Amino acid sequence: MDVPIKISVIVPVYNVMAYLTRCVDSIRKQTYRNLEILLVDDGSTDNSGALCEKFALEDKRIRVFHKENGGSSSARNLGIEKATGDFIGFVDSDDYIEPEMYERLLAMLLEENLLAVQCSRDEIDEQGNRMPDVCTPPEAQVLVESEDFLRELLMHRGDCSFCTKLVEASLLKQHHFPEGELNEDFRLLVELLPEIPAIGILPEQEYHVFYRYGSNTRTRDREEFPRVFTDIVNNADRVEALVKEQYPGLTGEAERFALIQRLDYMLHIPISQMKRDNTFYMQVCGYLKSHRKEIKTNPYLTKKNRQYLLLLAAAPALVRKVHAGIRGFH
């Protein structure tokens, strides 16, 4: 008798009392029933941990782990360590999913003999309104080779989130989310891609991202500068090295990606931090100055990208003072 395939769904939990029931209920109501649901309480200071225990009493598929606060990557890594499923998925604790999500993902994964599959997603604001799509869903189910998938990521068209994916457990057991960093999904996915020949993508928007103002890693006051902007630059350098070694056909796209990530950094850093004693800022300035030729010739940059990069390379502080209200151009 064949043993049914088990899916492990990992949910990092931190101070989400208002949203956790909706999230967990959406997982419990999956039409694919052979799940284990791992709720990892990352040192919550509200009653989220107690609510997790209540869920575990109601559904034997739920396992709860409590740990000191270490961030989402730390919680996910603990979940991976404890997972016993054949495949692993992730759901953020303020998001929710459609009932057929894992059944559809698993069906495509088995049908095409894949290591990873992905559904499409949408974003919902606090008023329940659907926001513009971050990633445009394909018109139909599609298989994308890893090089083409990476190309879409480098062109800011792809979805790097692990929450929309179902991945063979053995892959994630051998790799980990980087702890103490942001933009962690992108970094791990790029690390895994050389081991994944192709990724299947479903057009259905089965995953719903709940956009809470203030929860986004880029939300800040005028003088705060979230670390995500330095992490995206560091990840751009890592992906350039990977492309050089394994995907030389994507050199131009990787070059564009590195420039755009630095443009994002320069358009968000507070003017008060644009000083010579800011080592990282000076490194970004030096990179733009030394890559003027690439800025002028890269075929994947838009005219607006090119203009801002050249201006920032020449006079970054002046450009920011004139355009203090500008936010990222992609």
pLDDT grade for 217, boundaries at 50, 70 and 90:
very low
What is residue 198's predicted lDDT score, i.e. its pLDDT? Answer: 98
Tell me which amino acid residue 26 is: S
Taking the mean position of all CA atoms in its chain, how far away is CA 301? 23
Number of alpha helices (DSSP H) and beta strands (DSSP E) in the chain: 13, 9
Q: What is the spatial distance between Cα 35 and Cα 40, in angstroms, rounded to a whole number?
A: 16
Counting every residue written for the chain, the total comes to: 330
What's the pLDDT tens digit per position in 82-93? 999 999 999 999
What's the pLDDT tens digit per position in 231-280? 999 999 999 999 999 999 999 999 999 999 999 999 999 999 999 999 99
Does position 152 have pLDDT exceeding 70, yes or no?
yes
pLDDT grade for 130, boundaries at 50, 70 and 90:
confident
Q: What is the DSSP letter of 38?
A: E
Q: Which residues of 307-316 are buried (b: 16+ CB within 10 A; e: fewer)?
A: ebbebbbeeb
What is residue 209's predicted lDDT score, i.e. its pLDDT? Answer: 95
Contacts of 135 (CB under 8 A, 6+ apart): 120, 121, 157, 158, 159
User: Which stretches of the chain are DSSP H helices?
Assistant: 17-28, 48-58, 72-82, 101-112, 146-154, 169-174, 184-192, 228-246, 251-268, 279-290, 292-297, 303-314, 316-322
What's the pLDDT tens digit per position in 19-62? 999 999 999 999 999 999 999 999 999 999 999 999 999 999 99
pTM reported for the whole predicted model: 0.92
Q: Coil, strand, or helix at residue 35?
A: strand
Q: What is the spatial distance between Cα 312 and Cα 94, in angstroms, rounded to a whole number?
A: 38
Q: To which H or E segment does residue 278 belong? A: none
Provide the percentage of residues in the chain whose pLDDT is more than 90.
83
Q: Of 14-23, 61-70, 311-320, which range is least confident?
A: 311-320
Q: What is the spatial distance between Cα 113 and Cα 143, in angstroms, rounded to a whole number?
A: 11
Does position 210 have pLDDT exceeding 70, yes or no?
yes
Quote the radius of gyration of the chain (alpha carbons, Å): 21
Tell me the two tokens of residue 257: 């990606």
Q: What is the spatial distance between Cα 213 and Cα 48, in angstroms, rounded to a whole number?
A: 20
Domains of the chain: residue spans and CATH: 7-210 (3.90.550.10), 228-322 (no CATH)
Tell me the two tokens of residue 286: 């030096």
> Could you identify the residue written with the tokens 């603990």?
78
What is residue 214's predicted lDDT score, i.e. its pLDDT? Answer: 59
